Amino acid sequence: MDTAQFLEKYQAGERNFQGIHLRGAELSYVDLIGSNLENSDLEDANLTFAYLNGVNLNRANLVKAKLCGANLNKASLNGAKLRDADLHGAILQGVDLRYSDLALSILLDTNLIQADLRGVNLQGADLRGASLRGANMRYERRLYEGANLRGADLRGTDLRGVNLTGADLTRANLSRANLSEAVLRGASLYQANLNSANLQSAFLTEANLTEARFIGANLKKVKLERAVLAQAQLLRVELCDAMMNDAKLANANLAYADLSRVNLVRADLSRTDLSYANLTQSDLTDASLARTNLRNANLSYTYLTRVELSSATTIGARLRGAVMPNGEIHE
């Protein structure tokens, strides 16, 4: 069946085109609302600005397809192949993309609000300016692997409240992204770029943030319990009221950071640079401060109960009202 015959049958009221072969077809601006294109071959097809609302594209081949500006609202693309596809500006709100392959795809300014992205492969995808607010990417044991976003370009992306539990964001670019209240529990953000990102009230419990960059980021009220931040760059970040108990921050750079009222109980801060940092009213009970740089840091009214400070650099540090390792209050 060629493209003309396909469109003629659709206009006549037929909707079931399961398994159809339309490789390289010219389908820009066409109305295919509600059709069944499951297992169809649409590789390299031009579907620019097509109306694909509610279309069944489960397990369809859309490799290198052009879907710029297409409306796929409430469509189903479960297990679809979209590698190298161009979805710039497409509307994918509420779409089922479970297990789909979007590696190396272009998703610039795409609307993915409340999309189901569990088990999706987005490795190397360009998601700059995309909106993923409320999207579901959570890891579920025995059902869905965490989303694969290794090396993805997510600069300026709206990820507010997105569930990225267990996601792989290794070396992803999330600079200026909005991740406020996002769930990244157990996610891998090894060497990720989070410069100037908004992570306020995000959940990063047990996440791997080794060598990640957070320069100028907003981390107020973030949850980082048991997270690994070894050698992370956190220069001048805002971390006030964060939960960082049992976090591993060895060799991290937290110079000039705002760590006021932070829970750092049992945290590993060995060889960490906390020079000029504000740690006012923070709790460092049982924390490891082996060879930590606290030069000119503000430790006023901080809890330092059972902390070993003998190898730490405390020149110029302010300790007024701090609870010292021996339980005495510094004057």
pLDDT tens figures, 165-223: 888 999 999 999 999 999 999 999 999 999 999 999 999 999 999 999 999 999 999 99
- Of residues 112 and 140, the one with the higher pLDDT is 112
Query: Are 305 and 328 contacting, i.e. CB atoms less than 8 angstroms apart?
Result: no
Return mean pLDDT, the chain.
93
Q: Which residues contact 8 (CB under 8 A, 6 or more apart)?
A: none
Phi, psi of 3 (to 5 degrees): -60, -45
pLDDT tens figures, 270-284: 999 999 999 999 999
- The full 3-state SS of 128-180, as one line of letters, equals CCCECCCCECCCECCCECCCECCCCECCCCECCCCECCCCECCCCECCCCECC
Q: Which residues contact 120 (CB under 8 A, 6 or more apart)?
A: 97, 98, 99, 100, 101, 102, 137, 147, 148
Terminal CA-to-CA distance of the chain, rounded, Å?
87
pLDDT tens figures, 142-168: 555 668 899 999 999 999 988 888 889
191 dihedral zone (left: phi>0; alpha: psi -120 to 50; beta): left
- At residue 302, the pLDDT reads 96
Residue 172 to residues 11, 149, 188, 204: CA-CA distances in angstroms?
A: 44, 7, 10, 16
Count Cβ atoms below 10 Å from residue 23 Cβ, excluding itself.
Answer: 13
- At residue 163, the pLDDT reads 87
pLDDT tens figures, 313-331: 999 999 999 999 988 898 7
- At residue 148, the pLDDT reads 87
- At residue 63, the pLDDT reads 97
- At residue 134, the pLDDT reads 85
What does pTM read for this prediction? 0.83
pLDDT tens figures, 66-112: 999 999 999 999 999 999 999 999 999 999 999 999 999 999 999 99
